[in-house]
Chain A
Amino acid sequence: MEVNDIIKPENLVYHKPALLKDCTMHYCPGCSHSTVHKIVCEVIEEMGATEYAIGVAPVGCAVFAYNYIDVDMSEAAHGRAPAVATAIKRLQPDKLVFTYQGDGDLAAIGTCETIHAANRGENITIIFINNAIYGMTGGQMAPTTLLGQKTATTPYGRRVDLNGYPLAISNLLAQLDGTCFVTRQSVHSPAAVRKAKAAIRKAFENSMARKGTSVVEIIGTCNSGWKLSPVDANNWMEEHMFEKYPIGDLKNV
């Protein structure tokens, strides 16, 4: 069978989701943000939620998420996405409301908004991309940066005596009575992408069923900030990040 006999509409088994706009995303080659945008679009399409989904974009590399994910979106001040999402969901309880935030946005400047929205049990989904660095601003240390990890502001590696410990904020969020589902996923392999998709779907369904706050942490790479090739960054993540941030559900009620 020739390639041209295979490439026919009836044989199509995988394609770009229509909700992901045709424009090129500004992300570096191989950036996990791109993969997560793609699967968020796939889940919204599969749920038939295009007309009632509202996203809130962060400050960080994903600041332009609203240019790529073709649903209604709002932009929040740095770290304030859970507060903006709270307002949107309370005013429009029938909408599927989610935030999309990096680790600097969620676990540094936005810690207060994150913890209180989750503690109030707001019926929103928080999609949290933990790449252990401030990607957008040039690769500075984040609260989530691993001990020993080299960044622009920890050139000799993160040290406990100077910089404190890496913050596993999802574990904290899982302790709060307001959260119903807290999970940690990744997108570096086909199986991981499928599991991350299923987790986002479950979180979105929880939000629509008003079960409380769902948090989907995705351990991601920032290959530019880590100064590795995209494939090496995926390998580095598997070797180093999963030890501190193990993949799996932290809470599911």
Chain B
Amino acid sequence: MAKFKGAVVIDEERCKGCNICVATCPFKVLALQKKEVNNKGYHYAYMENPDACTGCTSCGTVCPDACIEVYRAKID
């Protein structure tokens, strides 16, 4: 069976730190910055555990503010 590896690009300035993507990711890839904030003052989301991303698009689908681009590549 083909396997996939994914990665996300988060628009840090658009992100409002709502944590919905973090709670939704089935592979615990995402987290909110603990100290860093964006220009709006939000602790934005980032890939804390990038190796676990499968590119399933769950985070992008639920992100209210459309901050997340998801990429997926086949690995054999």
Residues of chain A touching chain B, judged by Cβ–Cβ distance below 8 Å, are 1, 3, 5-8, 11-17, 20, 24-25, 27-35, 38, 187-190, 193-194, 229-231, 234
- A-B contacts, 28 listed (Cβ < 8 Å): A1-B5, A5-B73, A6-B71, A6-B72, A6-B73, A8-B71, A12-B71, A14-B60, A14-B69, A15-B60, A15-B70, A16-B69, A24-B65, A25-B65, A29-B18, A29-B42, A31-B64, A34-B64, A35-B62, A190-B58, A190-B62, A229-B19, A230-B18, A230-B20, A230-B64, A231-B19, A234-B20, A234-B23
Complex contact B65–A14 (CB within 8 A): no
A11 B73 Cβ-Cβ under 8 A? yes
Given contacts A7-B7, A29-B42, A231-B23, contact A20 B73 (CB under 8 A): no
Complex interface: chain B residues within 8 A of A35 (CB): 62-64
CA distance A189 to B62 in the complex (A): 6
CB-CB nearest in chain A for B60: A14
Contacts of A231 in B (CB 8 A): 18-20, 23
Q: Among the interface residues B47, B50, B64, B69, which one has the most CB atoms of the partner chain A within 10 A?
A: B64
- Chain B: interface secondary structure? mixed
Which of B11, B20, B69 has the most chain A CB atoms closer than 10 A to its own CB? B20
Residues of chain B in range 17-47 having any CB-CB distance to chain A below 8 Å = 17-20, 23-24, 40, 42, 47
- Which residue of chain A lies nearest to B61 when distances are taken between CB atoms in the complex? A190
Among B18, B23, B24, B58, chain A packs the most CB atoms within 10 A around the CB of B18
CA gap between A188 and B21 in the complex, in Å: 10
Total chain B interface residues with beta-carbon distance under 8 A: 35
A188 → B minimal CB distance (Å): 7
Given the complex, which residues of A lie within 8 Å of B62, measured CB to CB?
A: 35, 187-190, 193
Identify the closest chain B residue to A17 (Cβ). B66
Question: Smallest distance from the beta carbon of A180 to chain B beta carbons, Å?
Answer: 28
* Residues from chain B with Cβ under 8 Å of A187 in the complex: 62
Residue of B with least CB distance to A194: B61
Query: What residues of chain A lie closer than 8 Å to B58, measured between beta carbons?
Result: 190
Q: Is the CB of A6 within 8 A of B64?
A: no
Known: A13-B55, A34-B65. A189 touches B71 (CB 8 A): no
Q: How far is the CA of A236 from the CA of B69 in the complex (A)?
A: 28
